Amino acid sequence: MKGWRTVGASIAAITGFLVGFTALLSLLLGDNPALFGDDPQAEALAQNLALPGAALLRLLVIMLALSIVIGIANLLLLHARRMAGGRLMSGILLASFAAAIGWRILLPGEVSLLEAIQLPIESALAALLCLTLVAGGARILTKRSDIWGLLLVLVVVVVLLGSLPFPELAPIAAFSDWLMRIPAQAGARAILLGIALGSVVVGARALLGQDRSLRG
């Protein structure tokens, strides 16, 4: 049994490596005639190199779209079971789902339901976020009262004050502008570079079959 599992994991790892490496090479090197130097057929060769990447990318997008459909079906089934168990909230969810689909089928192109229900709830939730963020900032001062917590709150206050349109606050606005231009930009670049390096490492691990989920 364990032997079969190992064989299965190896098949998955090899398949993933072959497909992923093909896509990687095609996406990185495709559509770049300069790679083939003075070859008269450089343009055609570059286009051919880009073909597997384009096809595999299309395959991935369609699979992801279908996965979303399956995910929504799973959500509906789960709440249908809960509704059968007497949970009223699940019934509300299913009713709102059915109402939106029905609205779309009966009145195609009509967006008033989206504007009357979806947008107000989204906006109100985003508005609540403001209060939550301010409360979180205050909590930083009480829970983490070291220099870094203080600096974070100080920067938040300076940037917020700097965005006010009062001429009396012009020096703070200038300082806020400097903060955004130099240290914040440097920090943001470092964070983005860190994320990008992390993505490359995680991606390489997945390509090489080191991802735990593929081992069965």
Partner 1 sequence: MTENTLTLISFALTMMVFSYLLGDLPLIRHLYRIAVYIFIGMSAAFTLIVGYENLLLPYWQDAQNPAISWTALGSQADIVVFGTALLFTALLLLKPVTRLGWLTNSILAVVVALGAAVGIVGALRGTLLPLLSATASLPVLDAELGALLESLLVLLGTMTALYSFHYQASSSGEGTSFGLGKAFRSIGKACVVVALGAIYAAAILSSMTILTERIAFLFQFGA
Decide: residue 115, CB within 10 A, 0-12 exposed, 13-18 middle, 19+ buried. Answer: exposed
Which 3-state string (H, E, C) describes 66-132? Answer: HHHHHHHHHHHHHHHHHHHCCCHHHHHHHHHHHHHHHHHHHCCCCCHHHHHHHHHHHHHHHHHHHHH
CB of 99 to partner 1, least distance (A): 8
Closest C-alpha among 22, 63, 1 to residue 9: 1
Q: Is 171:158 a contact under the CB 8 Å cutoff?
A: no
Nearer to partner 1, 62 or 170 (CB): 62
Nearer to partner 1, 168 or 212 (CB): 212
CB of 129 to partner 1, least distance (A): 4
CB of 142 to partner 1, least distance (A): 16
CB of 68 to partner 1, least distance (A): 5
CB of 188 to partner 1, least distance (A): 4
Nearer to partner 1, 36 or 93 (CB): 93
CB of 189 to partner 1, least distance (A): 5
When computed from its CA atoms, the radius of gyration of the chain, rounded to whole angstroms, is 27
* CA-to-CA separations, 125 to 4, 116, 128, in angstroms, rounded: 50, 15, 5
Nearer to partner 1, 39 or 183 (CB): 183
Instruction: Record the tokens describing residue 51, joined without a space.
Output: 């073909």
Nearer to partner 1, 89 or 170 (CB): 89
Nearer to partner 1, 2 or 38 (CB): 2
Report the phi/psi class of residue 209: left, alpha or beta, with left for phi > 0 and alpha for psi in -120 to 50. Answer: left
Q: Which residue has the tokens 């920090």?
A: 187
